[in-house]
Chain A
Amino acid sequence: MTATARKSDQATTPETPAASEKSATVVMMVQPSARKLNIRRAATAVCRNVLPPLVVLIALLAIWQIACSGAGATLPPPSQVWIDSYDLIAHPFFDFGPQDIGLAWRVLISLQRVAIGFGLAAVVGVFLGALVGQSVWAMRGLDPIFQILRTVPPLAWLPLSLAAFQNSNPSAIFVIFITSIWPVIINTAVGVRNIPDDYRNIARVLRLNQLEFFIRIMVPAAAPYIFTGLRIGIGLSWLAIVAAEMLTGGVGIGFFIWDAWNSSRLTDIIVALAYIGVTGFVLDKLVGLLGSIVTRGTARN
């Protein structure tokens, strides 16, 4: 079986060696087997990619369960999380009034803040990065300042931000902005500095103006770098929003954790952590996917 499977694996088109040698009935038989093979291949892929993390997850849950089951355990075991926070796990979209909503809603509210803050950071970051990458004097003047500012932890910006905006929501958005802009600037600048001289010469021969050069040459040429920056940036902004919301309040997922801590609902915190982790993972993959679609043609030839 394995031998025949491998043979038709090499050529899933009807023209397998067997098919071309024998009659039409064989061809008829090859096609379903090829389809079966696709299913098999998909199953293999699932086994390879889904099974190992699943096994590890179950093992970790088991260890956790054993470790936290004894008397005097400070943290709840997974079985208790399931029982106590069943409503949160099973109904992510419930809505019983302003402070009593499902975790999915809370994540969406946090995501909305991230979208505004990170969106602004992406636009401003690409422009500033292009400036720093393009102009030697802009680099000399701005780069040291950027290098110092980017090491400031996100939450250190929050008091200043609250003082400036007098309101928690724009403050949280500002914290996201200021956290995620640095990798965008720095990576864009590197990308722009790495644009081959040939592309610049073409732009000069064609007499492209600054804007045309930016749109037609700079952004596409630096796109792989820009997306690296964006991917780091979105990860950082998701880190920052949860922390910022814990301090500013409101209805985001970060505040939910703080609220749950204050009312000693440890199991709810654990569920919220799972939500945050999964969302961060999805955000990272989304930006990565967008990057690979946009930069499809940019590979050097």
Chain B
Amino acid sequence: MSAYLKIDHVDKNFERAGTTTEVLKDISLTIDKGEFVSIIGHSGCGKSTLLNLIAGLTRVSAGAVLLENVEVNAPGPERAVVFQNHSLLPWLTVYENVNLAVSKVFSGRKTRAEKHDWVMRNLDLVQMGHAKEKRPSEISGGMKQRVGIARALAMEPKILLLDEPFGALDALTRAHLQDAVMEIHSRLGNTMIMITHDVDEAVLLSDRIVMMTNGPAARIGEVLDVPIPRVRDRIALAADRTYLKSREAVLKFLYERHRFVEAAE
């Protein structure tokens, strides 16, 4: 069986003013359908670039990204992105933000009533149905990110790409949203790839954790399996041995072998 998503010997270089910077070097990774994979690394290691490559927002310099054996070379709704800073359109209401995606992705495939139901279903999935008439400026940061997730889910993507989705949230809100994402993952069985720099978040949510070395020319340093059965409960896991061991492994990778040297640049 071939992999659902295959990242095949991908390089990414950026050229600016005649000088070429190698950002990613020889990245290979396969992800199965329904898997939850986290990509973790220090800031500036190119993990967001990797996500953008999968999304098709930036082009690979060498190698290829294949989704169901089709090469990715442009962005599209089958690879929906949840952006770090929610990026809802401020002049649209919560409902209209999700509806923009639904009416575009399902144009000609769903009737008006079906589209409305689908928007509401996705808003209810993230418990935001009650705020559908609100504008983004009227709701909290956590709520905005919920709507951002609803918008991405509403595209019915083959892969959901989360770019540090909880980075800008406080710890309690973040925990709520992590639970919400876990529940959605278990209910819908989506394939999800999440960028994070939070070790606990990675271990709690992921089936596998991809650890990146420091840039420039970052590589995949190690891939860690997290064999904790689902449904996962954050309180029970706090003392779980597999959890603690996984956590330790990631910490050791990040802070012993690939310590981030701030002055390196």
Binding site for B on A (CB under 8 A): 196, 198-199, 201-202, 204-208, 212, 216-217, 220-221, 223, 295, 297-301
Contacts and interface: CB of A to CB of B under 8 A. Distances in A.
B104 A201 contact: no
A211 to B, nearest CB: 12
A206 B77 contact: yes
A205 B100 contact: no
Nearest to B105: A206
Contacts of B90: 297-301
A204 B57 contact: yes
Interface of B: 55-57, 74-77, 79-81, 83, 85, 87-92, 100-101, 104-105, 135-137, 144, 155
A196 B86 CA distance: 12
Contacts of B92: 297
Contacts of B79: 205
A205 B136 contact: no
Given A207-B76, A297-B135, A301-B137, A202 B105 contact: no
Nearest to A300: B90
Q: Top 4 nearest A-B pairs by Cβ distance?
A: A198-B87, A301-B137, A297-B91, A204-B75
A202 B104 contact: no
Contacts of B77: 205-207
A199 B104 contact: no
Q: Is the interface of B mostly helix, strand, loop or mixed?
A: loop
Contacts of B80: 205
B144 to A, nearest CB: 8
A208 B104 CA distance: 8
Contacts of B55: 205
B230 to A, nearest CB: 28
Contacts of B135: 297, 301
Contacts of A201: 57, 75, 81, 83, 87
A77 B79 CA distance: 76
A300 B80 CA distance: 23
A198 B104 contact: no
A216 to B, nearest CB: 7
A223 B90 CA distance: 12
12 contacts: A196-B87, A204-B75, A205-B57, A206-B100, A206-B155, A216-B100, A297-B90, A298-B91, A299-B137, A301-B135, A301-B137, A301-B144
A204 B87 CA distance: 13
A205 B151 CA distance: 11
B106 to A, nearest CB: 11
Given A204-B57, A207-B104, A208-B104, A199 B89 contact: yes
Contacts of A196: 87
A202 B89 CA distance: 9
B70 to A, nearest CB: 15
A205 B137 contact: no
A301 B136 contact: yes
Contacts of A297: 90-92, 135, 137
Given A196-B87, A201-B87, A299-B137, 13 more contacts: A198-B85, A199-B89, A201-B81, A202-B87, A202-B89, A205-B80, A206-B100, A206-B101, A206-B155, A207-B76, A297-B91, A298-B91, A301-B136
Nearest to B92: A297
B98 to A, nearest CB: 12
A297 B133 CA distance: 12
B89 A207 contact: no
A297 B83 CA distance: 21
A113 B135 CA distance: 39
Nearest to A220: B91
Nearest to A297: B91
A207 B137 contact: no
A229 B56 CA distance: 36
A205 B89 contact: no
A206 B77 CA distance: 5
A205 B52 CA distance: 11
Nearest to B135: A297
Nearest to B87: A198
Contact of A198 (B56, B75, B83, B100): B83
Given A202-B87, A297-B135, A212 B81 contact: no
